[in-house]
Amino acid sequence: MNRRMGTRLVWAVLAGSAADLAGLGLIAAAAWLITRAAEQPPLAALSVAIVATRAFATGKGVFRYAERLTGHDVALRAQAGTRERLYQALIPPQRPRHGGADLLSRMVDDTEAVQDLLVRCLLPAAAAAMAGLAAVVIGLTILPVTALVLVAGLVLAGVVLPAGTATAARRWSARIAPARAALAGRVADLVHGAADLAAYGADDAALARALAADESLAALERRQARVHAAALAGGTLVQGLTVAAVVLLAQGAGAGSVGTAVLALTSLVAFEPVLPLAAAGERMAGITAALRRLREVRSAEPAVGEPAAPAPLPGGPLTVEIDDLVVRHAAREASPAGVAPPAVSSPHPAPAPGGPGSPAAAGSGEAVHGGRPALDGVSLRLTPGKRVAVVGPSGAGKSTLLAALMRLVEPESGTITVNGTDLRELAGDDVRTLMTGLTQDPYIFRAGLRDNLRLAGPEAGDEELRRAVRDARLGAWVERTGWDTELGEDGRTVSGGQLQRLALARALLYDPPVLLLDEPAEALDEETADRLMADLLDVTRDRTTLLVTHRLKGLETVDEVVVLDEGRVVQRGRHEELVSVPGYYRDLWESEVLTRR
Amino acid sequence: MHKDLLRLMRAERSVRRHLAVTMAAALLAGLLVLVQAELLAGVLSGRFTAAALAGLAAVVCVRALLAWTQGVFAGRTATGVKSALRHRLLARLRELGPGRLAAHRSGELVTLAGRGLDGLDAYLTGYLPAIAVAAVVPVAVLVRLFAADLASAVIVLVTLPLIPVFGALVGMTTKAVTERQYLALSRLGGHFLDVVRGLPTLRAFGRARYQAGVIQQVADAHRSATMRTLRVAFLSSLVLELCASLSLALVAVPIGLRLLGGSLDLTTALLVLLLAPEAYLPLRAMGTRFHASMEGVAAADAAFAVLDRSAGDQGDPVRRPAAAPTASPETGTLQSGARGTAASATTGAPEIRLEGVTVRYPGRDGAALDDVSLTIGPCERVALVGESGGGKSTLLHLILGFVHPSEGRVLIDGTDLRELDLASWRARLAFVAQRPHLFATTVAGNIRLGAPSASTEEVRRAAAAAHAGFVADLPQGFDTVVGERGADFSAGQRQRIALARAFCRPGASVLLLDEPTARLDGRSEAAVVAATADLARGRTAVIVAHRPAMIDLADRVVRVHEGRIVSDTARPAGTAHPPGMPSAAQATAGLSDVPPGSGAADAAGVPSGGGADAPARDGRRTADVRCEEGGR
């Protein structure tokens, strides 16, 4: 694969060089033809030049076409390779990163830098080097001293200038990026905060601030344009002065009109592929930054370790035991907005770390403390057929518990065992065949419903699909939408309720020995949530299930309810027991009962 | 050329000037190439002495200077146009107001007004000057060629039009091929992002590794499809390149033969050789720039789509707020007295009356509010309950003046809201949105939003009143800068900062809250409820509420369902006390008797709370609206 890539790359470079060389040859042959013809030699002396002129003219176009095709082909292959490596690096569970979906989009955009690097920087540079070399060789054969001048000019325009623009572009993008971010922030304030601004009569002031941010960005961009302008001017200057110097030297050395003309015109044309390299240099700043970001992603440690020799999967009915589990999320570095991490001893809940993508802090809940473990000594036993519900305020560690069971986070201490085997001795993928289900933020792929379900059961037949859909109470919707209508971003929009039901159908289709359900009624309106929860409690009867929820209706049917708060189990027991004693559970239950019609 | 963009550039004086300088520099530099060719040909042929090389160097220096000028002024043109467009966009966003902004995809608007406009750079700095050069320089070259050598000039003249003609032909074919493949290309191109985004889901079902193979297949398919289009697309560059290079050969060979015959001098021959490529170059450059500038054209289209989207849609519930105060001078003079009292009574709580109000949003089928009549007396505290999407928020937005009734009217102390000065009406309101936005400034700045002159002490007091004591514990206290979109604060904390905003407006007489405790856990909820209770004291309050503790604050509960008021229940006098479960039980029992959308008969079997009066379907409550809290 790699060698074939290398061969393709060589072909692309050859085609590009051939195109530039043909351009050089065309002008050299034409110059020779004309100046030699002026000396009125016999016609036969010109025939080679005439043929060469025509051949080079045709070759230039054809080789250019070949270069562009082979170049883009290589670039697309290289990009595919980069994407594959990136994907492979992302497969093991990742530590949560900042930025969520935006970050992923940028990562995917970054892989396009490889294409830019090849098509717009490396291949043109290689071809320009070949053309420059050829011009220097012509100079050497006619008058060596002119070759020296030409080398100086070409290096100046093709190496020094691009290096300068690359450096300047890097510096300027470092200065412009904050101004750009400030403007984006101001604009976001205007758009997202429109209601607050209008209600408090502060919209004029906010508009003025946005315009001020625009003005400071524009001022920086105007100054950046000078770099680009200077590079343009420098290129023109170097090219023109080199040609003038070559002519001066050639005439001074008595190189003759033929030699001088050929030297002058080849020098002039040799710069043509070289001058665009300054713009390529400007691009390099962005490209290297993108490639560096990709390297960082690829070299990031996965969130959990994998055993060297994974233990075999335990068989039979599964008993899961969680013993004194402590999980601590890696503390976040100081936030970009300048809010320092709060002191651990702070008595009040303070704005605290826990990225938007981290399991415990996702959504809208109170963020977790940097120093406090997300789970702090949790023990739990799930025997075959038992259903356990985990409730508690947001940020209590409910989702972290599921993540630990799915081997997505590494516990600090304590153990999780499945039929006596420690999870750490099992391969992560194997763990997730035992314990999985409806995870946080389920994703709908841009595909039909059938394919969206099949990812949880590639072998599933139509009958099984239909049953899963029926059990998730998605049947009516499927009849309206159809099995193969494209869903997802550009396809049909899927409402929150349908999305959760689709995710539930997936979980039921997969039918893991231990079913995990993370806030299945999240983001649904009351009525839909009630119906979904009722259905769900119905279909999970006699399945080993761990249900994370903040809705208590129907929990009288589960075998145990565990109340988590700040990572600790504060209450546990059956529903009837918990509502009979004061505490978080009873408060929540009463509040819920009262809001029901 | 982009018509709207040109109009905009003509309207901005500095942009016009900068663009003119850019174009002039580009043109002059293009024309100087002729002089350069003339000098070089003369020196090479021996007609000029080596001293002419100094002239050549001078021309080169001037061209460099012009290139610099072009670059600098092109940059100024680009930033000028982007700023002008951004100014208009932002002004337009403000003009649309929160009511209609909601109909746009807010994320797209933010991108458009920020990064999106950068796409214009290539169009403004590259394509526009290239057009000018392409229009003038080839003609100048041709004129010079005709003067020098007729035969060569004719060859160039004949082959020159081939470039645009072939360019257009190939362009059209490319477009057809691309369009045929567009769907496949965008599908395949988007596949990788789709898979990466869904990776957690794939991992959960053990399909992550399998997808690696699929990614490769799709990448291969994408490459094949792309290469199919490129094979056609690059034909244009093949044709252009061949046109230019073959023409040069076509010119050079006959010239050589004529030199041999002695019918042409060397200077002319060299001049033709040097000039001929310069005739083709500007056209090819324009073609290249054209492709690079397409993104900018798309950005401009998107921007002008927002700017031009008609402000006067029929049945549009939102009108320009600025138009309201000055719209009717007659009523203004008639009501100046009434308005005077209204202005002097800013501390007093007003009566808010909705009369047969219907609100329709453009592009939506049903009415958001359908013939709603409701009177909210001074100092009355009304809880709006009901399913989400039922019209509760629209009701608040009506009172705020974010939306206007399609039918009916909103009266404030008997004056139509449309005749009031919206700014001074809003100055009497304290509003906390469902998801209040925290601005990218300090916490103090956020609290001061509605009272820019509030002192530090007042800000502190407001925060304390809003139970936002956590702010003082932050390392930088009230000077802490809020992270992007309030990311550093939890929902409860954001909510309390927004409440502090309301407290920082002590003059406000009407409190409007949109589900202040939705999405909060128990502890945060208690703090927000307590703060709200304080804030509602002595004010007219309209609170969209879901949770019992919040409903408990109200002395009247209005249930909104599918744009209509389905029940309107006063809570027995004296039940308004600090939030707690027992009283909430009474309140909600009182509410529970009319399920949304059902007739009163359905409610018969449901236990009914004591003291609740029968819901008046027209919403016009006849019960007294004494200002119970006013005296406290």
- Which residues in chain A are contacts of B212 at CB distance < 8 A? 84, 87-88, 91
Collapsed DSSP state (helix, strand, coil) of residue B597? coil
> What is the rounded CA–CA span in Å between residue A445 and residue A429?
21
List Cβ neighbours of B249 (8 Å cut-off, separation of 6 or more): A26, A30, A53, A54, A56, A57
Please judge whether B230 and A72 are an interchain contact, meaning their C-beta atoms are less than 8 angstroms apart.
yes
> What is the rounded CA–CA span in Å between residue B177 and residue B198?
31
pLDDT tens across B361-410, in order? 776 667 888 899 999 988 889 998 877 667 888 888 899 988 889 899 99
Closest CA to A430 of B206, B470, B283: B206
- Which residues in chain A are contacts of B548 at CB distance < 8 A? 591, 594-595
A128: amino acid identity, one letter: A
CA A489 to chain B, closest CA, distance in angstroms equals 9
Cβ–Cβ contact A191 with B under 8 A: yes
Backbone angles phi, psi at B430, to 5 degrees: -125, 120
Cβ–Cβ contact A261 with B under 8 A: yes
Average pLDDT over every residue of A522-549: 82
> What is the rounded CA–CA span in Å between residue B444 and residue B447?
5
Q: Is the overall model pTM greater than 0.95, yes or no? A: no
| Integer CA distances (angstroms), A199 to A196, B537, B565, in order | 5, 20, 25
Other CB atoms within a 10 A radius of the CB of residue B262 amount to 10
CA A346 to chain B, closest CA, distance in angstroms equals 8
| Integer CA distances (angstroms), A407 to A329, A412, A425, A436, in order | 14, 13, 11, 10
| Nearest CB to B246; choose among A58, A221, A346 | A58
pLDDT tens across B298-313, in order? 888 888 888 887 444 4
Cβ–Cβ contact A226 with B under 8 A: yes
pLDDT tens across A36-68, in order? 999 889 988 899 999 999 999 999 999 999 999
Within the 274-303 window of chain B, which residues sit less than 8 Å (CB to CB) from chain A? 274
> What is the rounded CA–CA span in Å between residue A186 and residue A179?
11
* DSSP element (H, E) containing B558: strand B556-561
How many residues appear in chain A?
A: 597
* pLDDT at residue number A369: 40
Question: Sign of the C-alpha dihedral, residues A199, A201, A204, A206?
Answer: negative
pLDDT tens across A340-373, in order? 333 333 333 333 333 333 333 333 333 434 457 8
Q: CB pairs below 8 Å between A and B: how many?
A: 471
Please judge whether A80 and B220 are an interchain contact, meaning their C-beta atoms are less than 8 angstroms apart.
yes
Question: Sign of the C-alpha dihedral, residues B289, B292, B296, B297?
Answer: positive
Please judge whether B206 and A597 are an interchain contact, meaning their C-beta atoms are less than 8 angstroms apart.
no
List Cβ neighbours of B430 (8 Å cut-off, separation of 6 or more): B450, B501, B502, B503, B505, B508, B510, B511, B512, B535, B539
| Integer CA distances (angstroms), A281 to A117, A164, B291, in order | 10, 8, 21
Average pLDDT over every residue of B530-544: 86
Closest CA to A510 of A421, A437, A584, A418: A437
CA B1 to chain A, closest CA, distance in angstroms equals 23
> What is the rounded CA–CA span in Å between residue B518 and residue B513?
11
- Which residues in chain B are contacts of A203 at CB distance < 8 A? 94
- Which residues in chain B are contacts of A176 at CB distance < 8 A? none
Cβ–Cβ contact A111 with B under 8 A: yes
Please judge whether A233 and B113 are an interchain contact, meaning their C-beta atoms are less than 8 angstroms apart.
no
Q: Is residue B533 within 8 Å of residue B577, measured between CB atoms? A: no
Closest CA to B112 of B356, B304, B367: B304
How sure is the predictor about A71, in pLDDT bands with cuts at 50, 70 and 90? very high
Residue B484 has pLDDT above 70, yes or no: no
pLDDT tens across B76-117, in order? 999 999 999 999 988 888 887 777 776 666 777 787 888 788
Most confident stretch, A358-362, B33-37, B287-291:
B33-37
- Which residues in chain B are contacts of A105 at CB distance < 8 A? 193
pLDDT tens across B519-534, in order? 566 666 777 788 888 8
Q: Which residues pair with A560 in a beta bridge?
A: A388
pLDDT tens across B311-343, in order? 444 334 444 443 333 333 333 333 333 333 333
> What is the rounded CA–CA span in Å between residue B426 and residue B401?
8
- Which residues in chain B are contacts of A69 at CB distance < 8 A? 227, 230-231, 234
* pLDDT at residue number A416: 94
How many residues appear in chain B?
A: 632
* pLDDT at residue number B103: 61
CA A476 to chain B, closest CA, distance in angstroms equals 22
> What is the rounded CA–CA span in Å between residue B191 and residue B210?
15
- Which residues in chain B are contacts of A500 at CB distance < 8 A? none
Q: What is the dihedral of CA A159, A160, A163, A169, to 10 degrees?
A: -130
Please judge whether A351 and B493 are an interchain contact, meaning their C-beta atoms are less than 8 angstroms apart.
yes
- Which residues in chain A are contacts of B523 at CB distance < 8 A? 393
Cβ–Cβ contact B18 with A under 8 A: no
* ipTM for the assembly: 0.83
Average pLDDT of chain A? 85
* pLDDT at residue number B522: 64
Closest CA to A289 of A145, A422, A109, A46: A109
- Which residues in chain A are contacts of B206 at CB distance < 8 A? 429, 432-433, 436
How sure is the predictor about A1, in pLDDT bands with cuts at 50, 70 and 90? low
Give the angle B21-B23-B26 at the CA atoms, nearest 5°. Answer: 105
pLDDT tens across A480-530, in order? 878 888 786 555 567 777 888 889 899 999 989 999 998 887 766 667 778
| Nearest CB to A57; choose among B238, B246, B488 | B246
Other CB atoms within a 10 A radius of the CB of residue A573 amount to 15
Q: Is residue B564 within 8 Å of residue B370, measured between CB atoms? A: yes
* pLDDT at residue number A371: 59
Closest CA to A93 of A348, A303, A404: A303
Instruction: Tell me, rounded to whole angstroms, the distance of Cα B88 from its chain centroid.
Output: 11
Cβ–Cβ contact B491 with A under 8 A: yes
List Cβ neighbours of B454 (8 Å cut-off, separation of 6 or more): B447, B448, B462, B504
In chain A, the percentage of residues whose pLDDT exceeds 70 is 88
- Which residues in chain A are contacts of B522 at CB distance < 8 A? 393, 584, 587-588, 591
> What is the rounded CA–CA span in Å between residue B55 and residue B48?
11
Cβ–Cβ contact A21 with B under 8 A: no
| Nearest CB to B423; choose among A201, A340, A595 | A201
Please judge whether B473 and A30 are an interchain contact, meaning their C-beta atoms are less than 8 angstroms apart.
no
CA B73 to chain A, closest CA, distance in angstroms equals 8
